[in-house]
Amino acid sequence: MQSAFKIALGVFTITFGMIIIIFYPMPIVNFIYSLFDVDIPDPFYILVLGTDDAGEAGKDRTDFIGIVGLKIDEKKIFFMSIPRDLIVEDMVDGKVRKINAVYKKLGLKTLENIIENIVGIRLNRYVIVNYSAFKTLGDKLGPIKIDVEKPMHYDDYHQDLHIHFDPGLHKMKGKELLEYIRFRHDEEGDIGRMRRQRKVLKAIMESAKEKLNLFTLPALFRKLMKEDVKTDIDIVELIVLYWKYRDLNDITFLSFPCKINSSGDLVLDKEKLEKLRKNLKNFNFEVEGERTIKVLVVKANGESTYSFEARFRKIADEVRKKEPRISLSIVNMANEPRIPECIRGENAVIVLSNEIWKMETMKKVVSSFDIPQDNILIPGINWKIEDYYEIIDSLGKSRIYMVVDDYDFIITLGRRI
């Protein structure tokens, strides 16, 4: 009886499969074939545009411009933001204007040509994202944990935009995430907002690695395409790229080479641009002599401020001799932050940077702090992410704001050296 059932089930499966192939052959055959035959250029460069809906004057204006680069065979990826206020001379009418106005006035192709001429690469695909996509991603992948580094309060009744965040750890879904990345009304302006967008992208990537797979990815892609995104990347390319990069742990965030001229305009820094053009092509982003490693040192015991500062100065001198690129700073000892129980009274290093050269450089000086191997902590990998956020939240409440990329490592000093 059981054998007859298996035979019947097998016949049904084969028959059903043949019906599907006979009556709906091309979509299935093409899809399966394309997975094995898809031709994706390597390296692969994607132009990413974020558009806002700030009334008639701002509609379709590129509020965000960036480039994603993928070196597929080596599983490398970089992300670079281009400041929206960058002054450029376009290739059509010779007028000088801000780059964020090019898309609206002259179209996508002109903007692509300008960017290609600036950075010296060919853009293979584009993605145009309405900011509401962050709301979709936040709702589908959230709540996303974000440490708000400073007070953020802004109201724009014309846009119906109301942003109110106090420092500390926030668990954000779509609406809050969208408000956070749109904030730029502080002394840093667009530069600060680009840093926060990078922070959000990192957090979304981490959440996506946990919550997305080959079955849930197409549904999210279709929803984004229907409501929030325009792109010439097709679903097959997306699946292939997802499959190749699904275990990615390292993404390089690049700074765009620009400077403020004597007129107060943001313009290209042509000296640094030449170096960037070369690096974008070979995916070598290590620029010797210009880099520093920023380390925040935190008191993790009850010793006096005077004693701790004296100990810190001694260690700092020793580190400076071993590796001059490492910059050490300490928190305001009048507001000693709360330290998680697992490292209270311990010497530990919390790794915030995922750049290999920084971790290798730090290895040279870890012995100066007497930090055991087990106390080299990477949030989310060998250390609870909640413990990391407890420190960040406590620092914020003590008016020590962890602005994105301000520090590469946090060192807690508990035991006396």
CATH number at residue 56: 3.40.630.190
Mean pLDDT, the chain, whole residue set = 76
Across 22-36, 55-69, 106-120, least confident range: 22-36
Torsion of CA 109, 110, 111, 113, to 10 degrees: 90
> Is there a single domain that holds both residue 304 and residue 320?
yes
Same domain, 148 and 92: yes
Q: Using only the alpha carbons of the chain, give its radius of gyration.
A: 25
Same domain membership, residue 250 and residue 301: no
Structural domain boundaries enclosing 67: 44-282
324 with 245, same domain: the answer is no
Looking up tokens 């697992």, which residue turns up?
342
Asked if residue 288 belongs to a domain, the reply is no
* 273 and 323 together in one domain: no
In-domain check, residue 205: yes
Residues 67 and 51 in one domain: yes
Burial zone of 67 (CB within 10 Å; 0-12 exposed, 13-18 middle, 19+ buried): buried
Mean pLDDT calculated for residue range 339-366: 79
Q: Specify if 177 maps to a domain.
A: yes
Considering the domain architecture, whether residues 202 and 68 belong to the same structural domain is answered as yes
Same domain, 108 and 224: yes
Domain count for the chain, please give it.
3
242 and 305 fall within a common domain: no
- Tell whether 5 is covered by a domain: no
Q: Is there a domain that residue 6 lies in? A: no
Residue 287 resides in a domain: no
Q: Is the pTM higher than 0.75?
A: no
Band of the pLDDT at 60, cuts 50, 70, 90? low
Question: Which residues, other chains included, contact 21 with Cβ-Cβ below 8 Å and sequence gap of 6+?
Answer: 28, 29
- Per-residue pLDDT reduced to its tens digit, 130-185: 877 878 888 888 788 888 877 888 887 777 778 888 888 888 888 888 888 878 77
My answer on whether 189 and 210 are in the same domain is yes
Q: In the listed set 252, 282, 312, which residue is the last one of a domain according to the structure?
A: 282
Distance of CA 297 to the CA centre of its chain: 24
Q: Confirm whether 79 is domain-assigned.
A: yes
- pLDDT, tens digit (0-9, with 9 covering 90-100), for 10-20: 544 444 444 43
Pairwise pLDDT comparison (31 vs 289), residue with the higher score: 31
Are 81 and 164 in the same domain?
yes
pLDDT at 403 over 60: no
Strands across the sheet containing 229-231: 229-231, 125-130, 44-51, 62-71, 76-82, 252-254
Task: Tell me if 1 is assigned to some domain.
Answer: no
